[in-house]
Structure 1
Amino acid sequence: MSRNLGLILGALVAFASISPAAVAADLKAKTVVLVHGAFADGSSWQKVIPLLERAGLKVVAVQNPLESLESDVAFTKRAIRDAEEPIVLVGHSWGGVVVTEAGNDPKVKSLVYVAAYAPDAGQSLVDAASKYPDQESRKTFLKDEDGYLKISDEGISKYFAAGLSPEEQRVVAVVQGRFHVRATTAPVSHAAWRDKPSFMVVATEDQIIAPQMQRDQVKSAKAEMIEVPSGHVAMLSHPKEVAELIVEAAR
């Protein structure tokens, strides 16, 4: 179910004017577990983390190896195991596939997708994306002899981290993790969004995941949704809006 961004911004936490104690008293979730996407690491949440903590939430940013769906889910589930429940599980990009699988854990009470893939049961990332035209950005993905992918510096600045400053784009390029191609074809066993409340950030200027795909996933999951005029890394370009939707999920 879509929601006007202006209403959300008005109804949610005004971080600058409401005390953390007052915010925390209204929360049902205790912890937010953040799952980064491909070509990234936990630092991709650096602007969102302090906003969530100020709202009274505990935060864990997972550092996934990007080797396979199985290994990323295992790393994420260890973070879930050690975190205080109830948990809001958040995924960006490839991390959406991970939280779709790992989110079946009973400690997870809601899901947030930030410019992310949300495949259905039996679908892989490749399956979910197959009915949409290939993005021009795919031409900047480079595969080495061991099957690991990276994005060229040009691809980072032009597509992946579009909308960030040149300095921020450079950091994204430097810290990017190699992503093994095997992960893209691993199917999800059960889609957690079918059973749990879901919230989605649609990045309307995304050049990695088609915005139309993101909107179609909102309909499939019957998710609460906001749209932001952002490229792929919405949590870096629009951290306040992303944090506010996560806080709503925590309520």
Structure 2
Amino acid sequence: MNPTVVLVHGAFADASSFARLVPQLLDAGFRVLAPPVPNRSLAGDAAYLRSVLRSIAGPVVLAGHSYGSAVITVAGAESNVRALVYLCGFALREGESVAELQGRFPDAELASALVHTPYPLEGSTEPGTDLSVDIEKFPDVFAHDVDPALARVMAVSQRPLAATALAERAAVAAWRVKPSWGVIATGDGIVNPDVARFGYQRGRIRTVEIDSSHAVMLAHPEQVAGVIREAASA
């Protein structure tokens, strides 16, 4: 029986960012789930994902894009997860945050395109801060090799990320105990490719490099599906 492939989106996107990848996987005979991620906190997002994983009978291949890869690093410790796939990802070690790993390297283009927006925090008089990408800059920074019409839609339908999530430390690092694969987008404007490369090399994660924007699963769905199929077969 093929495992279920669970696709975990990252910041500044939602599950529709897998729209071109999902058909590739369905046609290959996989059951696929692409749940919405709250993007509020690393611990909370991982807890939500774990609840999704516990509802699935049988083995799972867990694939996370961008911030979603930090989430799968924690949630991927669930017993039914057989393999991890990192897409433009953060392979955090225990006690490490996205901000800490990213801070080892020069900023990507994202740094000059970030928008900070306050939002109300329940039980607090102080607002939280949401991060998103400037709508005008989004197509070039996030998805320069994606259909421009689609990139425009993505730009105005972003799912923001709570800034505090970037400073949260990973409680566990599932790649230590689960077979893992990683995709690096060499033209990534959101995550410096060296950030992903460093994490993958440190974790001895099998790595594929693709000449792509951050939206690698939209620009190169066949290649990404191939990596996921390899993870599933192993």
- TM superposition score category, shorter chain reference: over 0.9
Deviation at residue 117 of structure 1 after TM alignment: 1.2
Once the 2 structures are TM-superposed, how far is the Cα of residue 29 of structure 1 from its aligned partner? 4.4
Measure how far apart 1:75 and its partner are. 2.0
Q: What amino acid does structure 2 have at the position aligned with 1:238?
A: H
Taking structure 1 as the reference length, the TM-score comes to 0.86
**Partner AA of 1:124 in structure 2:** S
Alignment correspondent of 2:137: 155
Equivalent of 1:117 in 65, 90, 97: 90
Is 167-176 or 179-188 further displaced after alignment?
A: 167-176
Matches within 5 A, 1:38-187: 38-146=11-119, 147-187=129-169
Q: How far apart are the structure 2 equivalents of 1:158 and 1:205?
A: 11
Task: Give the match for residue 224 of structure 1.
Answer: 206
8 Å Cα contact 1:137-1:155 kept in structure 2:
no
Kindly provide the amino acid, as one letter, of the partner of residue 167 in structure 2: T
Q: Secondary structure at the match of 1:32?
A: strand
Cα deviations by residue, 1:66-114 (Å, 9 ceiling, x for unpaired) = 1111221122112101123211000000001000000011110100001
Q: Deviations over 1:28-81 (max 9, x none)?
A: 642011100001111011111111111111100010111111221122112101
Give me the whole-angstrom Cα distance separating, in 2, the residues matched to 1:145 and 1:114.
Answer: 29
Distance in 1 (CA, whole Å) between partners of 2:68 and 2:147 is: 24
1:242 to 224, 229, 233: 224
| Root mean square deviation of aligned Cα | 1.2
Residue matched to 2:178: 196
The offset of 1:181, in angstroms, is 0.4
Structure 1 residue aligned with 2:6: 33
Runs of 4 or more, structure 1, over 3 Å off, are none
CA distance in 1, matches of 2:22, 2:41: 26
Which ranges in structure 2 are unaligned for 5 or more consecutive residues? 120-128
* Runs of at least 5 residues in structure 1 that lack an aligned partner in the other structure: 1-27
SS in structure 1 of the partner of residue 107 of structure 2: coil
Asked if structure 1 preserves the Cα contact closer than 8 Å seen for 2:83 and 2:178, the reply is yes
Q: Which position in structure 2 is the counterpart of 1:211?
A: 193
Q: Residues 234 and 242 of structure 1 are in contact (CA less than 8 Å); yes or no, is this contact kept in structure 2? A: yes
> What TM-score comes out, normalization by structure 2 length?
0.92
How far did residue 161 of structure 1 move?
1.4
- Residue identity over aligned pairs, in percent, reads 38
2:97 aligned partner, one-letter code: S
Give the counterpart letter for 1:43 in structure 2.
Answer: S
